[in-house]
A and B are shown apart, each in its own frame.
Chain A
Amino acid sequence: MGKLVHLSLVEVLKGLRGFDFSAQELIESHIEQSKANRALNAYITENFENALEAAKISDARLKSGTARALEGVPIAVKDNFCTRSLRTTCASKMLQDFVPTYDSFVITKLKDAGAIIIGKANMDEFAMGSSNSTSYFGPAFNPWGKGLVPGGSSGGSAAAVAAHMAVAALGTDTGGSVRQPAAFTGTVGIKPSYGRTSRWGIVPLASSLDQAGVIARSVADVAIVLSSIMGFDPMDSTSRNVQTDYDLQAEVQKPVKGMRVGVPSSLMQNVDQDVISMWQNSITALRDQGVEIEEVEIPCVNEALAVYQVISSSEASSNLSRFDGVRYGWRSCNYSSFEDMVCASRSEGFGQEVQRRILTGTYLLSAGFIDEYYVRAQKIRNLIHQGFAKLFQNLNAILLPTAPTTAFSIDGITENPVDMYKNDVFTVLANLGGLPAISIPITLSNGLPLGMQLMSRMYGENELLRLAGSLERACPFVGRDAY
């Protein structure tokens, strides 16, 4: 057996149950790996001591035959999930000292499954970004190359998994924040259907789009973690009590012959040649396994990014109004009145991109504009939603790239914020439609990973994982075991 940090989750679970190694040894090896990779800045808060304590409990349960689904598995958690007694900063000065008194629902499920939080992962401030460059705690970096961004906003989660600092990680995905960093780091990232995982206890960005997701190093691994964290939560009014009679991990191995996948060719303009080649090779790989490929048109696809920006900025500005310096979060020391205290606290506590999105959202929601922008965007969202419903009457999934490029240099970030937003052009569709979607690493372009994306019908995680498993087997990806 090689280094413990190189094992997949499937192998880890088998090894722990077979007593090939202990949970303590597993955690120790991941702590060592995390310390060796501190230059990546993947964790805002390390949780090593608590993780070692938790490993003792896991080892006891393994020995007594009462091990749970994720017993002893070191998992990184994006720093926007509330974790009881463990600092939750959202990568913002606003919450730099915020210590939740409760666990978010997803974290409760993760802990109940026996998983061990090894660190709170770096991210773009309040999940606003696609490069993890807006974190108050400094940027996270991509283990694939010096100075490269890991993508965002769940950049620290992806970097930690890619660099083998954790077996898997939790992220959140509002417009691609799990899938794009997965693509940039050669990992697998899944965003489930809206309503599949509870949003309760996750610091919100845009409530009608946000969903918790998983990053790991294989399709089977994300399926296992997702199975443990999804499920109905009465504390989230958008959580759905959808019965599932399938085993997600088993779906990954099932044949795909006769399944139907749509390909939106018209979207492939102005995309890197290597991205187009990957897409074409993926189509061939699926076809070779008996999948029927069909040309599709996604309605309002050219306006989707704009629709997403209107909805996400508007909802973010509304959500972030809760930060007033009164009940929690940064409170300025310099103020002369109540109004002044609120303004000073927000000005000092929020970074530039967060302020810009609040201003944008406030503009779009202001009197005279709300019908023209937010309500109009919701109408187009309905057209997109209806369009997907129609497409999925005859399709099992839609295949498209995850991101238009490979990971870029942090020095290459321009002053035009829209250039950054364009990273999400392929991923926002699933959020607008509430669809489950997954990014799978397929190949390298100039030595950097490229990811392919599959989207399926709402609550169709089983079909999604079946096709993703098939694509993964057809296009085996060589990871960076050097880390």
Chain B
Amino acid sequence: MSILNSEIEKLFELSKIKLDQKAIPEVARKLSFVLELVDQIRKVDCSNVQPLAVLVEKSDSIREDEPLKISSKEDLFANLPASEREYAIALGYYRVPNVMSE
């Protein structure tokens, strides 16, 4: 199964991975190998079968929908870059570049 260059570009965009235009032929070739494998599932007749999402029929651990205090602010921000950590702990939120562009 072949995959179009335009589809590859769209995939990178959806996956939030930067596309190196020069890499497109190799990415396309390797993805085609994988898609050829996964296309085998089309041969199976499963028209009257329900999809199986989870192997556990019912969860043993659904708790009340109440907030729990699990982590401290220091814990939550512990793995930020050092330059951001103190700032985040002081303010209580993450600092990111502008999300809305002009």
Which residues on A are within 8 Å of B, measured CB to CB?
Answer: 97-99, 101-102, 194-195, 208, 232-241, 300, 302-303, 305-307, 309-310, 313, 317, 321, 324, 326-329, 331, 335-344, 346-347, 350, 355-356, 358-360, 362-364, 366, 372-373, 375-383, 385, 415-418, 421, 433-434, 458
Query: Is B61 within 8 A of A237, CB to CB?
Result: yes
| Complex interface: chain B residues within 8 A of A347 (CB) | 17-18
Q: Select from chain B the residue with minimum beta-carbon distance to A330.
A: B81
6 extra interface residue pairs, beta carbon distance < 8 Å, beyond A194-B56, A376-B41, A433-B55: A232-B60, A306-B37, A309-B34, A338-B99, A343-B18, A380-B46
| Complex interface: chain A residues within 8 A of B90 (CB) | none
Query: Is A101 within 8 A of B71, CB to CB?
Result: yes
The number of chain B residues touching the other chain, given as a range, is 35 or more
Q: Is the interface of B mostly helix, strand, loop or mixed?
A: loop
Q: How far is the CA of A381 from the CA of B55 in the complex (A)?
A: 10
| Complex interface: chain B residues within 8 A of A378 (CB) | 51-53
Q: Select from chain B the residue with minimum beta-carbon distance to A358.
A: B15
With beta carbons under 8 angstroms apart, the residue of B16, B37, B60, B81 that contacts A418 is B37
With beta carbons under 8 angstroms apart, the residue of A233, A335, A337, A350 that contacts B61 is A233
The verdict on A350 contacting B17 (CB below 8 Å), with A238-B54, A328-B79 known, is yes
Q: How far is the CA of A359 from the CA of B51 in the complex (A)?
A: 23
Q: How far is the CA of A305 from the CA of B44 in the complex (A)?
A: 13
| Those of B41-90 within 8 Å (CB) of chain A | 41-44, 46, 49-56, 59-63, 71, 75-76, 78-81
Q: List 16 A-B contacts (CB under 8 A).
A: A233-B61, A235-B61, A239-B61, A240-B60, A241-B60, A305-B40, A309-B38, A313-B34, A327-B94, A337-B101, A360-B31, A363-B31, A366-B14, A382-B49, A415-B30, A418-B37
Q: Select from chain B the residue with minimum beta-carbon distance to A361.
A: B15
Q: How far is the CA of A97 from the CA of B11 in the complex (A)?
A: 29
- Of B18, B27, B81, which is in contact with the most chain A CB atoms at under 10 Å from its CB? B18
Q: How far is the CA of A102 from the CA of B50 in the complex (A)?
A: 38
Query: Is B34 within 8 A of A338, CB to CB?
Result: no
| Complex interface: chain B residues within 8 A of A417 (CB) | 30, 33-34
Query: Is B53 within 8 A of A327, CB to CB?
Result: no
Q: Closest CB of chain B to A373's CB: distance in Å?
A: 6
| Complex interface: chain B residues within 8 A of A342 (CB) | 16
Q: How far is the CA of A331 from the CA of B84 in the complex (A)?
A: 11
Query: Is A358 within 8 A of B96, CB to CB?
Result: no
With beta carbons under 8 angstroms apart, the residue of A233, A326, A359 that contacts B17 is A359
B21 within 8 A of A: no
Query: Is B30 within 8 A of A356, CB to CB?
Result: yes
| Complex interface: chain A residues within 8 A of B61 (CB) | 232-237, 239, 241
| Complex interface: chain A residues within 8 A of B50 (CB) | 379, 382
Query: Is A383 within 8 A of B44, CB to CB?
Result: yes
Q: Closest CB of chain A to B83's CB: distance in Å?
A: 10
| Complex interface: chain B residues within 8 A of A380 (CB) | 41, 44, 46, 49
The verdict on A239 contacting B34 (CB below 8 Å), with A327-B94, A379-B50 known, is no
Query: Is A338 within 8 A of B51, CB to CB?
Result: no
With beta carbons under 8 angstroms apart, the residue of B31, B52, B79 that contacts A356 is B31
Q: Closest CB of chain B to A322's CB: distance in Å?
A: 11
**What are the 3 A-B residue pairs with the smallest beta carbon separation, nearest first?**
A378-B51, A328-B79, A382-B52
Q: Select from chain B the residue with minimum beta-carbon distance to A373.
A: B38
Q: How far is the CA of A306 from the CA of B38 in the complex (A)?
A: 5
| Complex interface: chain A residues within 8 A of B62 (CB) | 237
Query: Is A328 within 8 A of B80, CB to CB?
Result: yes
Q: Select from chain B the residue with minimum beta-carbon distance to A375.
A: B51
Q: How far is the CA of A109 from the CA of B66 in the complex (A)?
A: 26
Query: Is B79 within 8 A of A329, CB to CB?
Result: yes
Query: Is B39 within 8 A of A362, CB to CB?
Result: no
| Complex interface: chain B residues within 8 A of A341 (CB) | 96-97
Query: Is A195 within 8 A of B14, CB to CB?
Result: no
Query: Is B41 within 8 A of A101, CB to CB?
Result: no
- Of B54, B61, B63, which is in contact with the most chain A CB atoms at under 10 Å from its CB? B61
| Complex interface: chain A residues within 8 A of B11 (CB) | 359, 362-363, 366
Query: Is A359 within 8 A of B18, CB to CB?
Result: no
| Complex interface: chain A residues within 8 A of B59 (CB) | 237-238
- Of A305, A306, A338, which is in contact with the most chain B CB atoms at under 10 Å from its CB? A306
| Complex interface: chain B residues within 8 A of A364 (CB) | 38
- Of A331, A380, A385, which is in contact with the most chain B CB atoms at under 10 Å from its CB? A380
Q: Closest CB of chain A to B68's CB: distance in Å?
A: 10
Q: Select from chain A the residue with minimum beta-carbon distance to B51.
A: A378
| Complex interface: chain B residues within 8 A of A97 (CB) | 79
Q: How far is the CA of A313 from the CA of B12 in the complex (A)?
A: 15
Q: Select from chain B the residue with minimum beta-carbon distance to A241.
A: B60
Q: Select from chain A the residue with minimum beta-carbon distance to B40.
A: A306
Q: Closest CB of chain B to A346's CB: distance in Å?
A: 5
| Complex interface: chain A residues within 8 A of B98 (CB) | 337-338
Q: How far is the CA of A278 from the CA of B39 in the complex (A)?
A: 32
| Those of B1-29 within 8 Å (CB) of chain A | 3, 7, 11-12, 14-18, 27
Q: How far is the CA of A101 from the CA of B79 in the complex (A)?
A: 9
Query: Is B55 within 8 A of A343, CB to CB?
Result: no
| Complex interface: chain A residues within 8 A of B60 (CB) | 232, 234, 239-241
With beta carbons under 8 angstroms apart, the residue of B36, B40, B53, B56 that contacts A240 is B56
Q: Select from chain A the residue with minimum beta-carbon distance to B50.
A: A382
Query: Is B81 within 8 A of A331, CB to CB?
Result: yes
Q: How far is the CA of A373 from the CA of B37 in the complex (A)?
A: 12
